[in-house]
């Protein structure tokens, strides 16, 4: 089973990807993690990517796909994988598609966790992070025992710049411009499945399991 998770930043696709990987015995592949691992281990692909990153540029799609295919070719991905954070753009999706076709392979489902922008802005605006230990909370969903204070170390909780409404809206604008077209791309391929991301986490997961069987 080969899956792609789609959804705006803050839609909760990473959480669902982990739960899917656990239930179905497949690998949760986060592109951020692969890049970090390749760079840390000094692999040829990692060093190539690092050159672009050090220069402040974007890693070319072709190289990103090579790094990704190298990861999913490993033994632990034999049963399948769920891609989280890739592809982000149509060119990336096209390169991935071409390379998988060469391997006689394809994506089974692209699952879109659909959440309206205003719900995401509200959700992210409720996040709080500990300035000291980095523990995260949500004022509605996972509140600390004492308001504004970390349960773990007793330090102050803050609203990170990343989670401020104006920053979140900017990230959503970029998402709609670059990544939203992927929904149409995978719909045309007949593999798109949409779930309502405004529901409770377990309800969303149950809906996904209903699709995957």
Classify domain 2-115+178-212 by CATH architecture: 3-Layer(aba) Sandwich (3.40)
pTM of the predicted structure, to 2 decimals: 0.82
| Residues identified as active-site | 13, 88, 127, 160, 171
> Domain residue spans in the chain?
2-115+178-212
SS3 58: coil
The rounded distance, in Å, linking the Cα atoms of 7 and 44 is: 31
pLDDT tens digit sequence for 155-201: 999 999 889 999 999 989 988 888 889 999 999 999 999 999 999 99
User: Could you list the pLDDT tens digit for every one of the 213 residues in the chain?
Assistant: 999 999 998 899 989 999 999 999 999 998 888 888 999 999 999 999 989 888 887 788 889 989 999 999 999 998 999 999 899 889 999 999 998 999 899 999 999 999 999 999 998 999 999 999 989 999 988 999 999 999 999 999 999 988 999 999 998 998 888 888 999 999 999 999 999 999 999 999 999 999 998
The rounded distance, in Å, linking the Cα atoms of 153 and 197 is: 32
The rounded distance, in Å, linking the Cα atoms of 186 and 128 is: 35
- Burial label for 75, CB within 10 Å (0-12, 13-18, 19+), is exposed
């Amino acid at each position: 089973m080969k899956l792609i998770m789609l959804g705006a930043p803050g839609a909760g696709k990473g959480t669902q990807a982990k739960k899917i990987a656990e239930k179905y015995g497949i690998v949760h592949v986060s592109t951020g993690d692969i890049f970090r691992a390749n760079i840390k281990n000094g692999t040829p692909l990692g060093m190539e990517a690092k050159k672009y990153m050090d220069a402040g540029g974007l890693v070319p799609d072709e190289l990103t796909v090579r790094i990704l295919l190298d990861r999913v070719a490993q033994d632990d991905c034999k049963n399948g994988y769920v891609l989280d954070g890739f592809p982000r753009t149509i060119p990336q999706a096209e390169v991935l598609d071409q390379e998988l076709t060469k391997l006689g392979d394809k994506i089974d489902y692209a699952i879109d966790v659909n959440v309206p922008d205003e719900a995401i802005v509200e959700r992210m605006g409720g996040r709080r992070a500990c300035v000291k230990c980095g523990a995260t909370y949500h004022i509605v969903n996972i509140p600390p025992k004492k308001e504004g204070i970390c349960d773990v170390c007793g330090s102050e909780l803050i609203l990170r710049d990343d989670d401020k409404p104006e920053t979140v809206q900017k990230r959503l604008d970029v998402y709609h411009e670059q990544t939203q077209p992927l929904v149409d791309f995978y719909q045309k391929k007949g593999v798109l499945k949409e779930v309502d991301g405004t529901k409770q986490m377990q309800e969303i997961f149950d809906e996904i399991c209903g699709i995957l069987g």
